[in-house]
């Protein structure tokens, strides 16, 4: 039974207990499930009965994880995946056909960009990009064959904010499907469905897990759209493992308290860095200096755990990474540990300077995924690394 409050649902939403009356849901490490007789098997495969058949289709652990996220996001249905990118790919692949068109914000995760520019064109599915600062003109990018509007908010890695309510209105006006990547915010800070999104996707690897342990992804939203995604994924097999689903479901129980602390630390770090002599700019959604501060205030509960800063240039960014002592250099975010990356010299180094600048990835951009360490220790390490990078 759903409760009125986020935290209670995160903890109390659970699959039925077995005959052993366990307090914590067990892990169902089973590839398949048995049938009582031929009629039971027939009815199950024709979906007259809704039950577990094979863990590529569903599993009690993945079902529990999906149910929790659906309650958090206010979604009708959902499907779990092995990774966040599996969730994104399967969502698009299931809902799009040859000759369809996507309108997307240009500031998207690198692998999503690769899908849009390298792989989807093979099937004659093309994408038009609008700049985060040109959202007001999004209708000029819509074509007769446009089917999906896609965006991240906050964006990765520049931490820009898009007006979800405005995107929802445009999608409704043109009868388009609005897909939002809510990974940076999590459903604790933001529920895009309230603003008109039809599907919300997450890399559960990030804040949903929150401890850098497992990979996972999820898509939730309108039941009819999720049905199409389910039928596609059932045949292509991007399933989330029961063990990872169990880990993620347990992690959701502490999502609210973890994210609250992440946001508290991130705001404190961002505030400190605003006056740092080696920092040209700080971008954090709940700083009044953020270009979309008012929008963030409208649609987010808190500002998230990602702080983007601008240092002098490419070489300064490299020196900053080399000077880090406590924080981690890693290809993840949303961890208990603070993680720093310099996209221009690492994750986005293969892009041209022009392409990087177009999506806000300047040579001096540093992304900080603020963890749960004592804030004074985080500030001390970032501070000394910035000072060292200036030498």
* pLDDT at residue 1 is higher than 60: no
Q: CA separation (Å) from 287 to 65, 292, 319, 366?
A: 33, 10, 27, 17
Judge whether residue 39 has pLDDT over 70.
Answer: yes
Mean pLDDT of 112-137: 95
Kindly report the average pLDDT of the chain as a whole number: 94
Structure confidence by residue, pLDDT tens digits, 168-179: 999 999 999 999
Strand locations in the chain, DSSP E? 77-81, 101-105, 126-130, 146-152, 177-181, 199-203, 217-221, 281-283, 306-310, 339-341, 365-369
Pick from 6-10, 351-355, 368-372 the range whose average pLDDT is largest.
368-372
Reduced to 3 states, what is the DSSP secondary structure of residue 105? strand
> pLDDT-derived band of residue 354, with 50, 70 and 90 as boundaries?
confident
Q: Which of 189, 199, 222 is nearest to 6 (CA)?
A: 189
Most confident of 8-17, 91-100, 354-363: 91-100
The least confident of 207-211, 316-320, 341-345 is: 341-345
Give the integer Cα–Cα distance in Å for 264 and 304: 9
Q: Categorize the per-residue pLDDT at 110 as very low, low, confident or very high, splitting at 50, 70 and 90.
A: confident
Mean pLDDT of 376-390: 97
Of 66-70, 92-96, 102-106, 310-314, minimum mean pLDDT range: 310-314
Structure tokens at 386: 């910035």
- Rounded average pLDDT over 324-335: 94
Mean pLDDT of all residues in 80-104: 98
What is the pLDDT averaged over residues 262-275? 98
Average pLDDT, integer, range 79-87: 98
> What percentage of the chain carries pLDDT values higher than 70?
99
Say what the pLDDT of residue 346 is. 73
Residue 350's pLDDT is 67
The stretch 190-209 carries a mean pLDDT of 98
DSSP notation for 108-162 = --HHHHHIIIIIGGGGT-EEEEE-GGGGGGGGGG--TTEEEEEEESS-TTT----
């Amino acid at each position: 039974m759903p409760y009125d409050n986020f935290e209670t649902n995160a903890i109390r939403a659970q699959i039925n207990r077995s005959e052993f009356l366990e307090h914590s849901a067990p892990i169902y490490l089973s590839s398949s499930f048995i049938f009582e007789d031929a009629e039971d098997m027939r009815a199950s495969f024709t979906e007259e009965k809704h039950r577990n058949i094979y863990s590529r289709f569903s599993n009690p652990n993945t079902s529990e994880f999906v149910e929790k996220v659906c309650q958090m996001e206010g979604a009708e249905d959902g499907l779990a995946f092995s990774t966040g990118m599996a969730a994104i790919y399967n969502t698009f692949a299931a809902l799009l056909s040859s000759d369809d068109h996507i309108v997307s914000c240009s500031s998207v995760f690198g692998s999503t960009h690769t899908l849009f520019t390298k792989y989807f064109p093979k099937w004659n599915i093309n994408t038009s990009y609008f700049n985060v600062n040109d959202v007001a003109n999004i209708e000029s990018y819509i074509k007769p064959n446009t089917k999906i509007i896609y965006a991240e908010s906050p964006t990765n890695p520049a931490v820009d904010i898009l007006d979800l309510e405005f995107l929802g209105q445009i999608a409704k006006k043109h009868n388009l499907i609005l897909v939002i990547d809510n990974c940076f915010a999590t459903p604790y800070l933001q529920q895009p469905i309230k603003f008109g999104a039809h599907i919300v996707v997450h890399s559960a690897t990030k804040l949903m897990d929150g401890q850098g342990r497992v990979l996972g992804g999820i898509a939730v939203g309108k039941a009819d759209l999720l049905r199409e995604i389910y039928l596609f994924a059932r045949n292509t097999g991007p399933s989330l493992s029961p063990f990872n689903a169990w880990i993620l479901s347990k992690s959701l129980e502490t999502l609210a308290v973890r994210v609250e602390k992440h946001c508290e630390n991130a705001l404190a770090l961002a505030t400190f860095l605003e006056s740092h002599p080696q920092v040209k700019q700080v971008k954090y959604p709940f700083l009044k200096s953020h270009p979309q501060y008012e929008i963030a205030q409208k649609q987010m509960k808190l500002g998230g755990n990602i702080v983007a800063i601008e240092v002098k240039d490419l070489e300064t960014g490299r020196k900053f990474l080399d000077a880090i002592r406590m924080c981690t250099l890693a290809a993840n975010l949303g961890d208990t540990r603070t993680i720093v990356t310099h996209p221009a010299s690492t994750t986005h180094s293969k892009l041209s300077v022009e392409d990087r600048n177009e999506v806000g990835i300047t040579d001096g951009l540093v992304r900080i995924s603020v963890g749960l360490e004592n804030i004074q220790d985080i500030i001390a390490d970032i501070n000394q690394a910035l000072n060292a990078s200036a030498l």
